[in-house]
Amino acid sequence: MKLVIVAVGQRMPDWAQTAYDDYAKRFPPDCRVETRTVKTEPRGSKALDALLAAERGRIEAAVPKGARIVALDERGTALTTMALAQHLRQWQQGGDDVALVIGGPDGLDAGFKAAAHQRIRLSDMTLPHALARVLLIEQLYRAWSINANHPYHRE
């Protein structure tokens, strides 16, 4: 099982990339994290539905075959960190890869969210894309550290 963070939009500000990389490199080999970014559809004259559908196509191409899909969505289910740790344990026991998907400037396609296995929210507030990425990877690392009884969670 590996965690694959699929994010729409390739370039993050340096401060966010530094924070993200700092967490990404902490994961041990038994809980690998991979990041796959997909291009944002240029905002031009296309209708929003068409933009999101184009981004959906790229997301689906980036999701590993057979992966469990978890959409990050401010309207998704609220989770405590302990609950996320429990999900992580179940995902590891299940063995399938897990794709955690973060949308672009206009969010994720509605059909994609409806079809996802889980929709989770990180906060009741709308987060900018870069912060959503950093918060997600920190919480996944914290969830791992809870399950592994690693001191990070108590720091």
Ligand X SMILES: C[S@@+](CC[C@H](N)C(=O)[O-])C[C@H]1O[C@@H](n2cnc3c(N)ncnc32)[C@H](O)[C@@H]1O
51 is an annotated ligand-binding site residue? no
Q: Is 84 in the site for ligand X (CB under 6 A)?
A: no
Q: Choose between 10 and 149: whose C-beta lies nearer to ligand X.
A: 10
Q: Choose between 114 and 125: whose C-beta lies nearer to ligand X.
A: 125
d(CA 137, CA 22): 10
Residues 2, 95: contact at Cβ < 8 Å?
Answer: no
Binding residues for ligand X, how many (CB under 6 A)? 18
Q: Is 123 in the site for ligand X (CB under 6 A)?
A: yes
Q: Is 96 in the site for ligand X (CB under 6 A)?
A: no
Q: Taking the alpha carbons of 153, 93, 59, 71 in that order, is the dihedral positive or negative?
A: negative
Fill in the amino acid letter for 27.
Answer: F
Containing 130, the helix (H) or strand (E) segment is helix 129-147
Q: Strand pairing of 98-102 and 118-121? A: unpaired
d(CA 34, CA 45): 33
List 5, 72, 100, 137, residue binding ligand X (CB under 6 A): 72
* Smallest separation, CB 32 to ligand X (Å): 22
Q: Choose between 37 and 150: whose C-beta lies nearer to ligand X.
A: 37
d(CA 104, CA 106): 6
72 is an annotated ligand-binding site residue? yes
Specify the length of the chain in residues.
Answer: 155
List 87, 107, 116, 139, residue binding ligand X (CB under 6 A): 107
Q: Choose between 81 and 154: whose C-beta lies nearer to ligand X.
A: 81
Residues 68, 94: contact at Cβ < 8 Å?
Answer: yes
Binding-site residues, please?
72, 103, 122-127
Interface residues toward ligand X, by CB under 6 A: 72-74, 102-103, 105-108, 121-123, 125-129, 132
